[in-house]
Structure 1
Amino acid sequence: MNSEDEWFSQVDMLFIAHRTRLRRAAFKILGDWDRADDVIHDAYLKIRDCPDNKLEVKQPIAYLFQTVRNMAIDQYRRAVFELDLFDSEEEGLLVPDKLRTPDIYLMHYQSLDLIVAALNELPERTRRIFELYRLEGYTQRMIAEELQISVSLVNILIHAAIHHCKEALSSRS
């Protein structure tokens, strides 16, 4: 067995033997057992995959603890940074919705009433074409086939209905 294999074997045994202490060290920094477990796992992988000269490490247990502490501190700093950067979800729920205030509702209801009144002023066929197109999702071709008129007439009547509704809304303001 070469010395690198011995190093890996020693690291494995040290992680197993000192897992509880390593976990506790990470928990003291992070305050969360699950995150402490993640740090220990990441530290193990980092040490195993490290391309540095492992044979120069004179105190492997101190090296393991220092690696775990450093990674826990990095994760703690990252969490604090993200907490400062992003507000919590609860804070977002407290932001008032400017589109749902009573005056906005009233304005929308008034506009809707004006549109309904404007549509009732239209001839029956024009109103029906507009409703089929805008409310029921028919295509102009489907409307033309159902009412047995040309597609161009359907297009003209839709535009006439839209124009009439826009005039009714603009006359309010």
Structure 2
Amino acid sequence: MHARVRRLTGRHDADDLLQTALLHILERGQAGIAHTEAYVLRTARNLAIDAYRRERRDGLVSLPPDQADTIACPMPLPDAVVLGRQQLARIEAAFAGLAPRTARIFLMHRLEHLPYRTIAARLDVSVSTIEKQISKALCVLTTALLEGEAA
């Protein structure tokens, strides 16, 4: 009977539909039902139609039980949000402590995506100076992040 209900309805919740259809028979009693199996199949089909309409109306999707765990909320967990905010605060504080020239060079490279040579030409310094300043900024920012993790 289960296989027939599943084939008839094409739904993964055929067990629930069959159980509800059988419950209808028990509530009503078998008196007046000439073909019990046909009644169960027709009731299961009608229940499937009702469920489909309800899902469409409410915007719900009925998933097989083995796929229910695959849907995850795209939002980060609250502890990840708190951790991210703490990391951002540490980076902001460390960045504020950089020398203005170092901060400017770092931003030119990371935000404006300028190559070292272009930055060196604009600031009239050597490429080596740019490399050292970016390295210094990365060291300060990385240390700020790592110190926060150790705490």
- CA distance in structure 2 between the aligned counterparts of 1:142 and 1:87, rounded to whole angstroms: 53
- CA distance in structure 1 between the aligned counterparts of 2:98 and 2:125, rounded to whole angstroms: 18
Q: Which residue of 2 aligns with 1:132?
A: 108
Tell me the percent identity. Answer: 31
Distance apart, 1:111 and its partner CA: 0.7
Partner amino acid for 2:94?
A
Local SS of the residue matching 1:167 = helix
For the pair 1:107 / 2:86, whether they are aligned, the reply is no
Q: What per-residue deviation string (whole Å, max 9, x for no partner) do you get for residues 129-155 of structure 1? A: 111111221111111111111111101
Distance apart, 1:96 and its partner CA: 3.6
Distance apart, 1:108 and its partner CA: 1.1
Distance apart, 1:87 and its partner CA: 5.3
Local SS of the residue matching 1:165 = helix
Bigger Rg over Cα: 1
Structure 2 alignment gaps of length 5 or more: 1-6, 10-63
Local SS of the residue matching 2:84 = helix
How many positions carry a matched residue from both structures? 90
- Root-mean-square deviation (CA, aligned residues, Å) is 2.8
Q: Which residue of 2 aligns with 1:143?
A: 119
Q: Which residue of 2 aligns with 1:62?
A: none
Q: Which residue of 1 aligns with 2:145?
A: 169
Local SS of the residue matching 1:149 = coil
Which segments of structure 1 move beyond 6 Å, counting only runs of 4 or more? none
Distance apart, 1:127 and its partner CA: 0.6
Partner amino acid for 1:171?
E
Distance apart, 1:160 and its partner CA: 0.5
- CA distance in structure 2 between the aligned counterparts of 1:122 and 1:150, rounded to whole angstroms: 20
For the pair 1:160 / 2:136, whether they are aligned, the reply is yes
Q: Which residue of 2 aligns with 1:95?
A: 72
- CA distance in structure 2 between the aligned counterparts of 1:136 and 1:102, rounded to whole angstroms: 32
Distance apart, 1:124 and its partner CA: 0.5
Distance apart, 1:109 and its partner CA: 1.5
Structure 1 alignment gaps of length 5 or more: 1-28, 32-83
**Which structure shows the bigger proportion of residues in helix conformation?**
1
- CA distance in structure 2 between the aligned counterparts of 1:105 and 1:136, rounded to whole angstroms: 27
- CA distance in structure 2 between the aligned counterparts of 1:162 and 1:112, rounded to whole angstroms: 15
| TM-score computed with the length of structure 2 as normaliser | 0.50
